[in-house]
Structure 1
Amino acid sequence: MGESYERMADAVLRALVADGFEGVSVRRVAASAGVSIGAVQHHFPTKDAMLGAAMDLAADRFRARLAERISPDMPAAEQLAELAAALISADDRDVSVTWLLRLARAAVDEPTAARHRADWLALEDLLRRTIAAAAPDLDDRAAAVELLALLDGLACSVAVEPDRVGGAYAESIARNHVARLLAGP
C-alpha cells in the first residue's frame, strides 16, 4: 500500500495499545503518522477499518516473528512447541492487545466477528496440520481446538495481568501442554 499507509496503520496500532478502541481517532492517527486527516479518512473510512489495519499489521509482525522461530526442517513436534509459544505473544504485547481489542469488538460487530472467525479457523487449521504431522494417532482437530483455547487464555493473561502470568511462565505452560499432548494418554 505504501509507506504512508504503513505509518498510519502503525499509528492506529500504537493508539489502540495505548488507549484502546475509544482512543483511536482520525485526528490522532494523522498527527502521529505525519499525514493529513484526509489521507487517514481515505484509507480508513471507519474505526473498524482502522482496527482491521492494525490487526493486519499485528498479524504481519506475528508472521515475521514466527518465521524467525520456526524453520521447515524442524521436527513437527518442535514446530508445534514454537508455534504455541509464539501464539502467546509474550514477546510482542502489541499483538496480544490488538487481538484482545478485536475480540471485544467482534462480540458486538458482525463483520469484525466474521473476520476473527476466519482468522482463527486458519490458525486452528495450522495447529491441526502441525499436530497431525507430530502425532498422527491423535484426534488433531480436538487437540487443535483445545490448544488454541489454552493459548488464547494465556495470551489474555500475559497481556492483561503480566504480574500473575508473565510471558516466561505462560510459555512454560504452553510448552508443557504440547509435550503432554504429544505424549498421548
Structure 2
Amino acid sequence: MLPSKSQNTRQQIIDAATRLLIEEGAGGFSVRKVAQGAMISLGNLQYHFPTKNDLFYGLFEQVKDRVIAVAATEQEEEAQLFAYVDAIFEEWDTAAGSIPVWELGAMAAHDEDLAEMLHNLYTPFRKRLTWLIVRNNPDRSVRVCEHQATCIVAMIEGSGLFDAHSRSNRAEFRGMRKQLREIIKSIIYR
C-alpha cells in the first residue's frame, strides 16, 4: 500500500527537521526553517505538527521505530536484546540517527515535555531489560534490576560520546562496543 499524501508530507517535514538539527543544531532550529526546508507553508507544517514538540515527538518516534523494527526480527530473548543494542549502535553511526537525538537531549534540559519524551523513548527498552535481569536473577529485588537496566541504557547512550558519527577520535575506541556487550551480559547473567 502506498503512503498517503498526508504521510508523505509528514515524512517530508520530519526529514527537513532532521536535516536542520544536523546542519544547525538546536540553536538554529525553528519550525519556520523546517517549513522552508520541507518546501511547505508554515500553516501546512502546523496542520501536521501543531507544536514544535509535536514535531520532535514525530522525530523521536521514527528513531525508536527503526530500532524496534530491527530488534523485532529476532525470536530468542538474548538475540533480541543484542539486536536492539546493535540497532542503537547503527543509529550512532549515522548523522540522522545520532545528532538529532543528542540535540533533542540537550533541549530536554530546558523543556519538561521534551525530557518526558526522552524518558518515554527509553522506557520500553528499560522495562524489557528489567524483566530479563529479574528473570535471570530471581534473588535480586525488582528495584535493583530496574537500576541495573537504567545503568545499561546509560552506558549504551554514553558510548555515543566516544564512538559515533562525526567523532574524530573513534578509532581510539575500536572494540569498545564488544566490551560493552560483555559488560551487559555480566550484569544480566551474573
Q: Same fold (TM over 0.5)?
A: yes
What is residue 142 of structure 1 aligned with on the other side? 147
Residue deviations 1:57-95 (CA, integer Å, cap 9, x gap): 22222223333xx412x2x33333332232333344422
Matches within 5 A, 1:129-168: 129-133=131-135, 135-137=136-138, 139=140, 140-159=145-164, 162-165=167-170
Q: CA shift at 1:20, angstroms?
A: 1.1
Residues 60, 101 of structure 2: 8 Å contact kept: yes
Q: Name the SS for the 2:35 alignment partner.
A: helix
Q: CA shift at 1:154, angstroms?
A: 0.7
In 2, the alpha carbon distance for the partners of 1:36 and 1:168 equals 45
Residues 13, 54 of structure 1: 8 Å contact kept: yes
Residues 128, 143 of structure 1: 8 Å contact kept: yes
Structure 2 vs 1, CA of residues 38 and 50 (structure 1 numbering), >3 Å: closer, same or farther? same
- Between the two proteins, the alignment pairs up a number of residues equal to 179
Q: CA shift at 1:144, angstroms?
A: 0.8
* Relative contact order higher in (CA < 8 Å, ≥ 6 apart): 1
Q: CA shift at 1:104, angstroms?
A: 1.2
Residues 130, 148 of structure 2: 8 Å contact kept: yes
Q: CA shift at 1:147, angstroms?
A: 0.8
What is residue 3 of structure 2 aligned with on the other side? none
In 2, the alpha carbon distance for the partners of 1:161 and 1:26 equals 25
Residues 62, 95 of structure 1: 8 Å contact kept: no
Residue deviations 1:107-154 (CA, integer Å, cap 9, x gap): 111111122223323321122123345x24474323212211111211
Q: CA shift at 1:28, angstroms?
A: 3.0
Structure 2 vs 1, CA of residues 109 and 80 (structure 1 numbering), >3 Å: closer, same or farther? same
Structure 1 gaps of 5+ residues are: none
In 1, the alpha carbon distance for the partners of 2:119 and 2:125 equals 10
What is residue 66 of structure 1 aligned with on the other side? 71
What is residue 84 of structure 1 aligned with on the other side? 85
Q: CA shift at 1:46, angstroms?
A: 3.6
What is residue 55 of structure 2 aligned with on the other side? 50
In 1, the alpha carbon distance for the partners of 2:189 and 2:70 equals 27
Aligned counterpart for 1:107 among listed residues 109, 127, 138: 109
Structure 2 gaps of 5+ residues are: 1-5
Structure 2 vs 1, CA of residues 142 and 118 (structure 1 numbering), >3 Å: closer, same or farther? same
Which moved further from structure 2: 96-105 or 40-49?
Answer: 40-49
Aligned counterpart for 1:97 among listed residues 93, 96, 99: 99
Identical aligned residues as a percent: 23
TM-score (norm 1): 0.79
CA RMSD in angstroms, aligned pairs only:
2.7
